[in-house]
Amino acid sequence: MKYLIAGIALTAACLAGTAQAQPAGTANFTAKANALLGRMTLEEKIGQLAQIGGVAFIPGSPKPEDAIRKGQAGSILWISKPADINRLQKVAMEETRLRIPLIFGLDVIHGFKTVFPMPLALAASWDGALIERVHGVAAKEARAAGITWTFAPMLDIARDPRWGRMIEGAGEDPVLGAMVARAQVRGFQGNDLSSPEHILACAKHFAGYGAADGGRDYDSSYISDSELWNVYFPPFRAALDAGVSTFMSAYMDLNDVPATGNSFLLQDVLRKTWKFQGFVVSDANSIGDLVTHGFARDRKDAAFRAFTAGVDMDMASGTYNENLLALVKAGRISEAQIENAVRPILAAKYQLGLFEHPYVDEARSKSVIGAPEYLPLAREAAQRTAVLLRNEGGLLPLAKDAGKSIAVIGPLADARRDMLTMWSGFDVDTSTTVTVLQGIRNKLGSGARVEHAEGVQIAKQYRSMFEDLLGMKKVEPWTEAQSQQEFTKAVELAKRSDMVVLVMGEAALMSGELASQASLDLPGRQQELMQAIAATGKPVALVLINGRPLNLTWASTHIPAILEAWHPGNEGGNGIADLLFGDANPSGKLPITWPRNVGQIPIYYAHNLTHQPEGSRGFSSRYWDQTGAPLYPFGHGLSYTNFTVSNLKLASAQVKSGSPVEVSADVENTGSRAGTEVVQLYIHQRAGGASRPVRELKGFEKVSLKPGEKKTVRFSLGKSELSYWNSASKGWVLDAESFDVWVGQDASATLHTEFTIQP
Ligand code: BGC
């Protein structure tokens, strides 16, 4: 698989501002929407712009039935049961004048009933085909339930692991993020939205939500023009090029203007420059919240500002239903503007085939949702998203020797709900979720003694509204005596076992929305337990179940094997056992730079040089109390085999501006197992109209090789890879300058050459 070519298309489109790719037949749907608009009253049109919460947890939310009956709902969110969906759809189809069907929207972010690894984990596969298949299954299950719209993919670049929503995105890099964006949109939407397999996707949160000050969810983002265009926008542009039907605005202030009232984002960039043809929904309640921001005077002003900034549909705040009619009557908004907002919503309903088939087939839903045939993909995804961070002395893979005794220790070893994330749906059913303990038992059967001890408890200090909304139980804390007893029990178990698999990290609700974290240390007494277990002298492999990089500085020198498994989904335990015992070979690569500790944040590999970079001369730009280098670089991930990358060549080291730079390198499996490596290409522009990052990923290829096998990988660096948005000239530039190029296995690759672009 090769992603560079698609990368070229992405940036070329950015440069040109070409129109969004539209699926065949779109003009036809728009014509139908126009015909329907011609029959609608102004009130009916405005009603289509409202999305009503199906779960009334926002005080004062209207009952969905009432709003639908009054023609004040175009869409419903937070409902996932087929019978409920049909019940509400029936109101729209039988009790409203024009019988316009509703779109049902939900956050299907890594599976519907069959839960796959969390989105950041999927990005760690660096595998677009896998990601597309996973979201294809998610779409199929969701559509079988009557969901026709997912609020995914989340495309926010995130460089601060304190921000809990890092788990929903693809990490820190725009090129990897763009590849993941395309794959997700293709998986959800497919080629035919009227098929029973696909749903509308939503590129969210446009834009800059991942840069929240201090990693505090919802806090303001301050992002330079150059970072917006070069870093934060590319995944959104990629989703648009892949034909994404909808966008969602974001909650936070971007450079002091709330994203939901931000016409630079929603008009200038999205519509005028990128020619987006679909519709924009606000984030939940974010229009009403424009008042709270201190941006809008009142709810009417909020509705006016969001609407004129380019938000077509109001998610759950009620402000459009309350105010748009009066705003039109007062002449502040024209009916033509209302129609422009309604048209793509109606066109999407035609495109989904909802006018012909508004109801979901409840009998069919039972056979499609959670069908066992999806489990192998969930298991494969768990295998391919885990990242082997460390494997000193080749501790992994473990032998499946009969008679072996294994202690599986830690608060997450047998915690089913924590294999998933916050947004694994409502009514989450974990009855078939496989934990690491279960996975190991499944793997070894009666051939080994596998025992478990929790050792310590982990609990979140503050509950957010999501714990209540999603019915998450409160953890009853152990007494002091119990804590001591459980701790000792775990250590004793380690002592009488041949080896230990520690399963540690974070509970599901410790990341996601409203789940920022000031410390990256392992929560609770996990670090203490880890040290006590290591002190037994038994071989220890650490499996991490978590949503963000955690402080592994001690573990990285004392625990021989560390496998980052993320929140791996329903089949996580089986996939992890496959990796631990060598039935699968790890191939995941970090989509984020792994800091040593929280004080290094923000830390990302594509930073600029300074006038005195670390290690150059004297006391340079570094901390005096520790290195500035990360614990594990972006792109890092080990395998049970070894790869070497060599023979880096350029077709020519002097290239005329506008012509591509052709790069090749050989990758060889020098170990004794088959394995998969992601060969990564980074560049650095040495001089020019702006300081450029010390390294930027510009291409990668995932290569599977048998032992001793060798392959040549080729990359072509075109205009789009070599151009950047220059904030001084406010445009895309390609400087005729010298560039470094590295090809290797992570962002610290040393195999280097250089080329020059000639004017
Ligand atoms: C989140 C969105 C989500 C929406 C609907 C909001 O709180 O920020 O990402 O799509 O809720 O569930």
Residue in 106, 166, 204 to alter for ligand 1 test, most ligand atoms within 8 A of Cβ: 204
Please tell me the distance between residue 116's alpha carbon and the centre of ligand 1 in angstroms: 19
Is the pLDDT at 465 greater than 80? The verdict is no
Nearest CA, atom 12, ligand 1: 107
Do 172 and 634 form a contact (C-beta atoms < 8 A)?
yes
Is the pLDDT at 1 greater than 50? The verdict is no
Task: Determine the pLDDT at residue 12.
Answer: 40
Is the pLDDT at 56 greater than 60? The verdict is no
Do 489 and 397 form a contact (C-beta atoms < 8 A)?
no
Please tell me the distance between residue 394's alpha carbon and the centre of ligand 1 in angstroms: 43
What is the rounded average pLDDT for all residues in the chain?
94
Do 117 and 170 form a contact (C-beta atoms < 8 A)?
no
Residues 64-77 have a mean pLDDT of: 95
Do 702 and 179 form a contact (C-beta atoms < 8 A)?
no
Nearest CA, atom 2, ligand 1: 283
Task: Determine the pLDDT at residue 293.
Answer: 97
The strand ranges marked E within 164-278 are: 202-206, 246-249, 253-254, 257-258
Tell me if residue 384 falls in helix, strand or coil: helix
**Spatial CA neighbour of 37 closest among 349, 252, 322, 379:** 349
The span from the CA of 587 to the CA of 640, in Å, is: 9
Of the pLDDT bands very low, low, confident and very high (cuts 50, 70, 90), residue 15 is very low
The strand ranges marked E within 471-593 are: 499-505, 540-545, 561-564
Amino acid of residue 712: T
Do 306 and 259 form a contact (C-beta atoms < 8 A)?
no
User: pLDDT, tens digit, for every residue of 167-209?
Assistant: 999 999 999 999 999 999 999 999 999 999 999 999 999 999 9
Residue in 513, 514, 516 to alter for ligand 1 test, most ligand atoms within 8 A of Cβ: 513
Is the pLDDT at 450 greater than 90? The verdict is yes
Please tell me the distance between residue 210's alpha carbon and the centre of ligand 1 in angstroms: 14
What's phi and psi for 732, nearest 5 deg? -80, 135
Is the pLDDT at 19 greater than 60? The verdict is no
Do 553 and 597 form a contact (C-beta atoms < 8 A)?
yes
**Spatial CA neighbour of 97 closest among 30, 39, 29, 38:** 39
The span from the CA of 124 to the CA of 135, in Å, is: 15
Please tell me the distance between residue 197's alpha carbon and the centre of ligand 1 in angstroms: 23
Do 542 and 389 form a contact (C-beta atoms < 8 A)?
no
As beta bridge partners, residue 702 has 678
Q: Is the CB of 697 under 6 A from ligand 1?
A: no
The span from the CA of 509 to the CA of 464, in Å, is: 9
Do 669 and 705 form a contact (C-beta atoms < 8 A)?
yes
Task: Determine the pLDDT at residue 423.
Answer: 80
For the question of residue 225 being annotated catalytic, the response is: no
Do 72 and 51 form a contact (C-beta atoms < 8 A)?
no
Whole-Å CA distances, 137 to 109, 114, 357, 481: 12, 8, 21, 47
Q: Is the CB of 204 under 6 A from ligand 1?
A: yes
The span from the CA of 217 to the CA of 206, in Å, is: 15
Task: Determine the pLDDT at residue 6.
Answer: 32
DSSP assignments along 251-279, one per residue? SSEETTEEGGG-HIIIIIIIIIIT---SE
The strand ranges marked E within 36-121 are: 50-53, 75-77, 103-106
Question: Which of 618-626's residues contact partners 24+ apart within 8 Å by CB, and which partners?
Answer: 623/599, 626/596, 626/597, 626/599
**Range with top average pLDDT, 14-18, 131-135, 442-446:** 131-135
Is the pLDDT at 725 greater than 80? The verdict is yes
Which of 156, 241, 253, 283 is the catalytic position? 283
Token pair recorded at residue 408: 């599986």
Amino acid of residue 186: R
User: pLDDT, tens digit, for every residue of 117-173?
Assistant: 999 999 999 999 999 999 999 999 999 999 999 999 999 999 999 999 999 999 999
Q: Is the CB of 141 under 6 A from ligand 1?
A: no
User: pLDDT, tens digit, for every residue of 302-327?
Assistant: 999 999 999 999 999 999 999 999 99
With vertex at residue 212, the alpha carbon angle to CA 78 and CA 280, rounded to the nearest 5 degrees, is 45
Tell me if residue 612 falls in helix, strand or coil: coil
As beta bridge partners, residue 693 has 608
Give the sheet arrangement for strand 661-669, strand by strand.
643-650, 661-669, 710-717
Please tell me the distance between residue 187's alpha carbon and the centre of ligand 1 in angstroms: 20
With vertex at residue 163, the alpha carbon angle to CA 157 and CA 165, rounded to the nearest 5 degrees, is 65
Residue 461's H or E segment, with its range, is: none
- Give Cβ neighbours of residue 687 (< 8 Å, ≥ 6 apart): 735, 737, 738
Q: Is the CB of 151 under 6 A from ligand 1?
A: yes
Residue in 283, 424, 516 to alter for ligand 1 test, most ligand atoms within 8 A of Cβ: 283
Task: Determine the pLDDT at residue 471.
Answer: 74
Q: Is the CB of 289 under 6 A from ligand 1?
A: no
Q: Is the CB of 182 under 6 A from ligand 1?
A: no
Radius of gyration, CA atoms only, the chain: 26
Q: Counting Cβ atoms within 10 Å, is residue 294 exposed (0-12), middle (13-18) or buried (19+)?
A: exposed
- Ligand 1 nearest-atom number relative to CA 423: 12
Question: Could you give the domains of the chain?
Answer: 21-49+251-364 (3.20.20.300), 371-592 (3.40.50.1700), 643-758 (2.60.40.10)
**Spatial CA neighbour of 145 closest among 97, 114, 112, 178:** 112
